[in-house]
Amino acid sequence: MRPVEIKITETFTSIYPAMGQYKQVISIAIILVLLVLSIYLFLFGPLFPFSPLIIGFKEKEYNKARIYYQQGDSTDEFCIVDSMIHDIENFHHLTFKNKVEIFLTNSDNKYKHITGTMARFITKPLYGRIFISDHAKIEYRNKKIHFETYLKHELSHAILYQNMSLTRSLSYPAWFLEGMAMVAANQAGTDGYYTYEQTKEKIREGYFVEPDDWGTIISIKGKSVLYCKIENKYWFIYSEYALIIHNLIIQYGQEKLIEFLKESLTNHDFYHLFNTLFGQNFDIYLNSIKNQ
């Protein structure tokens, strides 16, 4: 029986190294696949807005901005971009920490692939990169929308993203981002957006979209957003949030608003900060908007 025992032992000792090598090969293969996938997602896919490398775009440099565009496109409209950045910095009493990066795509498919949306414009957190869709370019080059107004709106988002952490941007109230951008761009009453008086009239008719229902940039929208029955409801919703900011300026002054804005970029308890600095509960303030 002794020789048989030796053969069994030799058989198992020869199998174990083979199994170990197999697992090692599988592990290396998985790591390589994940690495290749990550590189693709960052360079050509939906993680492109956060990529440290830019591939597939030409570059036009300005003092305060860098415009990325694709073959056959133009950057003529951006000759005033430095002036607009200056205006946005003055309005927010903040400075951009890095050059503003603006991307022009030459197809809506490309735009949707790297941004995940078909909105005309979008600004992504972290670097505050601004993306402009092909259909937005067609509209502003044909004078159907106001280029400067829309770009100032996105620059407002960009300056706030550059002055807050990524984690803060994921929890920051998105209604306030939109309201600030609307006011900074003086966008109420342009290109379909409601004037402040038109917005008040709609509120008196019973329409109101709760700010909390707008959520954050990563949350789903709440009931009052989903069930708002107004045609082109986003024009009204953005104008409503602009009205909330506009009334704060009227009641407390822009200096107090900017103080609140700056502290909110690092203070994670947004509504407690509101109650403290403005001296009233946010819900009570909202009721004053609803009942005006």
Q: How many domains does the chain have?
A: 3
| Domain with 242 in it | 164-292
Say if residue 43's pLDDT is above 80: no
Contact 221, 209 (CB under 8 A): no
Decide which of 116, 141, 163 is a domain's last residue: 163
Span 204-214, average pLDDT: 97
Same domain, 171 and 89: no
**Chain segment 164-176, per-residue pLDDT in tens:** 999 999 999 999 9
Span 96-115, average pLDDT: 96
Please report which confidence band the pLDDT of residue 45 belongs to, taking 50, 70 and 90 as the band edges. confident
The pTM of the full predicted model, rounded to 2 decimals, is: 0.89
Say if residue 287's pLDDT is above 80: yes
Same domain, 125 and 192: no
Structure tokens belonging to residue 180: 């600030």
Cite the beta strand spans of the chain per DSSP E. 58-61, 65-69, 100-104, 121-123, 130-132
Same domain, 117 and 198: no
Same domain, 79 and 126: yes
Same domain, 135 and 217: no
Contacts of residue 121, defined as CB under 8 A and 6 or more positions apart, other chains included, come to 130, 131, 132, 133, 136, 150, 151, 153, 154
Cα separation of 119 and 63, whole Å? 28
What CATH number has the domain bearing residue 91? 3.30.2010.30
Same domain, 103 and 181: no
Decide which of 111, 130, 163 is a domain's last residue: 163
Same domain, 21 and 55: no
Q: Which residue has the higher pLDDT, 88 or 21?
A: 88
Please give the pLDDT value at position 29. 82
Q: Which residue has the higher pLDDT, 1 or 118?
A: 118
Same domain, 73 and 192: no
Decide which of 111, 136, 163 is a domain's last residue: 163
Please give the pLDDT value at position 28. 84
If you count them, how many residues does the chain have?
292
Span 62-68, average pLDDT: 98
Same domain, 6 and 85: no
Same domain, 143 and 194: no
Same domain, 85 and 112: yes
Say if residue 18's pLDDT is above 80: no
Same domain, 116 and 212: no
Contacts of residue 186, defined as CB under 8 A and 6 or more positions apart, other chains included, come to 149, 152
